[in-house]
Structure 1
Amino acid sequence: MSIAASSAILIALLVLFLGSGGWIFSGLMLVGASSMYFALDFNLARIGSIATKVISSSAISWELAAIPIFMWMGDIIFRTDISQRLFRGLAPMVARVPGGLLHTNVFGCTVFAAISGSSTATTATVGKITIPELLRRGYDTGLASGSLAGAGSFGLLIPPSIAMIVYGVLAEVSIAKLFAAGLIPGLMMALLYSGYIAIMAILRPETAPRYEGEVSLRTVLRGGVELLPIMLLMCVVLGSIYSGIATPSEAAAVGVFGAITITVVTGQFSLALMRESLMNTIRISAMILMLIAASSFLSAAIAYMHLPTQITEAISALDLSPYGVLLILAALYIVLGMFLDGTSMTVMTVPIAVPLIVQAGFDPLWFGIYLVIMIEMSAITPPVGLNLFVLQGLTGGTMGATIRAALPFFVLLCIGTVILAIFPQIVLWLPNSL
Structure 2
Amino acid sequence: MQGKNIVLAVSGGIAAFKAAALASRLKQSGAHVKVMMTDHAQEFVTPLTFQALTRERVYTDTFAEKEPEVVAHIDIADWADIFIIAPATSNILGKLANGIADDMVTTTALATKASMYAVPAMNVNMYNHPAVQRSMNQLKQDGYRFVEPGEGYLACGWIGKGRMAEPEDIIGFLSHQEKAKKALAGRRVLVTAGPTHEYIDPVRVLTNPSSGKMGFAFARAAADMGAEVTLVAGPVKLETPPGVKRVDVISAADMHHEVMAAAGSQDVVVKAAAVSDYRAKERLAHKEKKTDGTHQIEMERTTDILQELGTLAEKPFLIGFAAESENVESYAQEKLQRKNADMIVANNIASEGTGFNADTNEVFVVQKEKPLVHIPLQSKQAIAETILAMTVDQLEDADKK
Q: Tell me which interval the TM-score lies in, with the shorter structure as reference length.
A: under 0.3
User: Larger relative contact order (C-alpha < 8 A, sep ≥ 6)?
Assistant: 1
- Whose strand fraction is larger, Structure 1's or Structure 2's? 2
- Whose helix fraction is larger, Structure 1's or Structure 2's? 1
- Relative to the length of structure 2, the TM-score reads 0.22
Larger radius of gyration: 2
- Relative to the length of structure 1, the TM-score reads 0.21
